[in-house]
Amino acid sequence: MFERFRTFISEAGVIVPQHKDTAMLPTEKLPLPKEIILPMSQHVGAPCVPCVAKGDHVDVGTMVGKAPTAVSMHIYSSVSGTVKAVEPLYQNAKGVTVVRVEPDGEQTVDPSIKPPVVTDYQSFIDALTISGIVGLGGAGFPTDIKVSPGNLPEIETILINGAECEPYLTTDNREFLEHPDTILAGINAIFKYLGVPKCIICIEENKPQAIALMKEKTKDDDRISVCELESRYPQGAETIMIRNATGKIVERGKLPASVGCIVVNVTTVSSIGKFLQTGMPLVSKRLTVAGDAIKNPKNLEVPIGTKIEDILEYCGLSKEPRKILLGGPMMGGAQVDITFPIIRQNNGLLAFGEEAAKVPRTTRCVRCGRCVNSCPLGLSPVDIRRAYMTYDAPKLNNLMADMCIGCGCCSYVCPAKLPLSQTASLAKAYLRSKGGK
Amino acid sequence: MDYKVERLLVSPTPHIHSVLTTRMIMLDVIIAMCPALIASVIIFGLRALLVVAVTVAACVGFEYLWNRIMHQPQTIGDLSAIITGMLLAFNMPVDIPLYMPIIGSLAAIIMTKALFGGLGHNFANPAIVGRIVLAVSFPAYMASVVVPKAFQACDAISAATPLAVIDEEIPFMDLFLGTHGGMVGETCSLALLIGFGWLLYTHIIEATIPLIFVGVVAVMSLLCGHNPINEIFSGGLLLGAIFMATDYTTSPFNRKGKIIFAIGCGLITAVIRFWGNMNEGVSYSILLMNLLVPFINEKTRRKPVGGVKR
């Protein structure tokens, strides 16, 4: 009886302010910057090995970083020009090798670029392996690995993630409105070469134009359906999206493929479509540049590797930025330096002024239970916090702290402004260090 | 526009927060108690305001002194001591000698809250403990109930609480508007219900605990042959169910736990009222269930979606 109640009262997730003012602004192209920095780690997995040296000439689409293992992804130059340096850079406390390229302004395309010849499953995966495409929603997981799970014949549904539940970000919305045909080309390639029978395009209801357009475009194809999801953060989280769009529940520690689903971001699918048509690997990325310190918020297409300061200069600042985020305000990382480059899984650049950047003062937990009731996975952040404070690994295991997806709902709703999401992430790391559970 | 890199703030995600703060929650609870405060002044006269003021001042004062003496960060700004003071005052007769609220405040703030680690760490609702300490220490005062002078021919006199009146039925409108004998803040059901509405409107509390608490008492009184209207609208049931049983720290997190908690409160109240000979049914029931809250939380914890034990 109580199980019924539990689903009935599910208040999972939070309704966050949208701030999607840039939703209807067409994508602009950033003028070529003076320098491009290409970090060798722009994905989940092993960092790439630089395959150019100082003084080399590169074209648009020339490989500059080679993937050393399967779980990795090649990195290509986004400009034509000269390699100025191959050197280490410390970005957000992580050391990474970067290739610095000075553009020559010609933007000549690498002569080896031609549309890939794709005839079957294997050639499709091989094509993705050289496409430079990773999960563009923010995760950065290599797409060739993602779409070739071990149990491929059991995959029934491919979910196109166009939820874009983060406030401010509107790049997926622009992808729907500006490139619906390459999205469909990508989906059709997946149908054809992976043999997946069904596709659900998941869009949050706050993007009515995108929903209408995709419904119109897919009305003749009964394999594709458009699923309108409630605008409730974190609707775009993989497991949450699968639960809300198909009703299937991904078990603790399992991948979406275990329930016959693959979730692919809409920009990723669109990039697959573009790559199959042109053979040009992923070299540019659309960003939503917004936040209260930005004078002219924009949807901006930038060459991968553009420095944050170049984008800020182009869009203008209305006040002193005190916090710069790559990604949305719920999960995006605060940057320590504006000379850092944009990498391919970034989808937003937000700059906030004094007031919005302020970290709220914490008070004491009153045990109101808002964090417990808002957790989309039904975890107990307040108890996880308490167990983490005493390094109680068995308790953390019982509380299933390892399931936390770091969405930040608990920290968002907490009236005491406690960093619950942070302690849950720390607890997750601690639990992993205590036996990999 | 100039900017300095070293002035960039780096903090853990998320970078936006809901506007709700602990102080706002407490302020909303205080607002919700104001109708009952106004009603008490109308019904019992200005001395009701004096009792409330003394109790609130004592509660805030004790918390301030405790933090000063123990070198703790000052916490009176979270306004929770004001709520404790108001609730405690609502549970006292209007003619109480003014040193008693101070003793009650000591029990509430120092004994129940501060000694256990302050806000969020109290094992029971401080105001409930304060009331019970007073009821046990000064039974003569706390059991006598002042009949409002505005509605009596003579000056304020002490009489039995309506619950103790077996033969005499009080008209419903008197019960509803609170123009009958009782403690300072508990008689005017209308004012308490307005406060309840405010708490629901601002999403400070869920309706679960008050509705089930009152519902169980009503069902039990029907089953045991008592008048449910009389049971609900007299005595401290509404005050307890709306403002005391819903205290965050001492009520369970999720709805399943809240249901169990409220049923327990209702049953214990009914048992004490119908078969016991104390008139502190609501207070004791909430206190007893408060003690069970950690256990209820542990047993009713939501199973994570897709979570499997290993």
Name the residue among B270, B275, B274 with its Cα closest to residue B241: B270
Strands A348-352 and A198-204: unpaired
Q: What is the pLDDT of residues A115-167, one digit of tens each?
A: 988 899 999 999 999 998 998 888 889 998 888 888 888 899 999 999 999 99
Q: Which residues of chain B make contact with A2, given a CB cutoff of 8 A?
A: 256
Name the residue among B91, B93, B128 with its Cα closest to residue B112: B128
Rounded Cα distance, A319 and A316, in Å: 9
Q: What are phi and psi of A333, to 5 degrees?
A: -90, 135
- pLDDT given for residue B150 in this prediction: 53
Residue matched to tokens 């302010």:
A17
Q: Which residues of chain B make contact with A14, given a CB cutoff of 8 A?
A: 18
Rounded Cα distance, A168 and B228, in Å: 54
Residue B154 has pLDDT above 90, yes or no: no
Residue A174 has pLDDT above 80, yes or no: yes
ipTM score of the complex? 0.87
- Cβ contact (<8 Å) for A372 and B302? yes
Rounded Cα distance, B12 and B203, in Å: 27
- pLDDT given for residue A96 in this prediction: 87
Residue of A325, A366, A404, A411 for testing the chain B interface, max B β-carbons within 10 Å: A366
- CA-based diameter of chain B, in Å? 82
More confident residue, B88 or A231: B88
Q: What are phi and psi of A290, to 5 degrees?
A: -150, -170
Residue matched to tokens 């008048």:
B227
Q: What is the pLDDT of residues A250-278, one digit of tens each?
A: 999 888 999 999 999 999 999 999 999 99
Interface of A with B in 309-348 (CB under 8 A): 316-325, 329-338
Name A328's bridge partners: none
Q: What is the pLDDT of residues A82-92, one digit of tens each?
A: 999 998 887 66
Burial of B298 (0-12, 13-18, 19+ CB in 10 A): exposed
Residue B163 has pLDDT above 80, yes or no: no
The pLDDT-based confidence of B153 (bands split at 50, 70, 90) is very low
Residue A1 has pLDDT above 70, yes or no: no
Q: Which residues of chain A make contact with B303, given a CB cutoff of 8 A?
A: 6, 378
- pLDDT given for residue A8 in this prediction: 33
- Cβ contact (<8 Å) for B309 and A398? yes
- Cβ contact (<8 Å) for B256 and A325? no
Residue B115 has pLDDT above 90, yes or no: yes
The pLDDT-based confidence of B174 (bands split at 50, 70, 90) is confident
Q: Where are the strands (E) in A138-260, listed by range?
A: 157-162, 198-204, 224-229
- Cβ contact (<8 Å) for A317 and B310? no
Give Rg (Cα) of chain B: 21
CB nearest to B307's CB, from A243, A331, A400: A400
DSSP A127-166: HHHTTT-B-TTTT--BHHHHT--TTGGG--EEEEEE---S
Residue A212 has pLDDT above 70, yes or no: yes
Q: Give the mean pLDDT of chain B.
A: 87
What is the end-to-end Cα distance of chain A in Å, rounded?
31
| Average pLDDT of the residues in B127-134 | 93
Q: CATH assignment of A19-283, given 3.40.50.11540, 3.40.50.2020, 3.10.129.10, 3.40.50.2300?
A: 3.40.50.11540
- Cβ contact (<8 Å) for B304 and A403? yes
- Cβ contact (<8 Å) for A383 and B301? yes
Question: What is the CATH class of B22-299?
Answer: mainly alpha
Rounded Cα distance, A250 and A254, in Å: 6
The pLDDT-based confidence of B199 (bands split at 50, 70, 90) is very high
Contacts of B287 (CB under 8 A, 6+ apart): B124, B125, B128, B129, B132
The pLDDT-based confidence of A422 (bands split at 50, 70, 90) is very high
Q: What angle do CA B4, B8, B12 make, to 5 degrees?
A: 175
Q: Which residues of chain A make contact with B23, given a CB cutoff of 8 A?
A: 363
- pLDDT given for residue B144 in this prediction: 66
The pLDDT-based confidence of B225 (bands split at 50, 70, 90) is confident
Rounded Cα distance, B302 and B252, in Å: 12
- Read off the tokens for A245: 């769009």
- Domain spans in chain A, listed from the N-terminal domain onward: 19-283, 361-433
Look at A37-46, A256-265, A275-284, B1-10 and tell me which has the smallest mean pLDDT: B1-10
Task: Name the residue in chain A with its Cα closest to that of B208.
Answer: A9
Question: The pTM is what?
Answer: 0.89
Long-range CB pairs of A48-57, under 8 A, 24+ apart, other chains included: A48/A72, A48/A73, A48/A74, A48/A75, A50/A86, A50/A97, A50/A99, A52/A83, A52/A86, A52/A99, A53/A83, A53/A86, A54/A83, A54/A84, A54/A85, A54/A86, A55/A82, A55/A83, A56/A82, A56/A83, A57/A81, A57/A82, A57/A83
Q: Which residues of chain A make contact with B24, given a CB cutoff of 8 A?
A: 415
Q: Which residues of chain A make contact with B248, given a CB cutoff of 8 A?
A: 366-369
Residue B259 has pLDDT above 90, yes or no: yes
Rounded Cα distance, B238 and A96, in Å: 64
Instruction: Tell me the CA distances in angstroms from B96 to A434, B46, B130, B183, one per residue in order.
Output: 59, 13, 14, 10
What is the end-to-end Cα distance of chain B in Å, rounded?
55
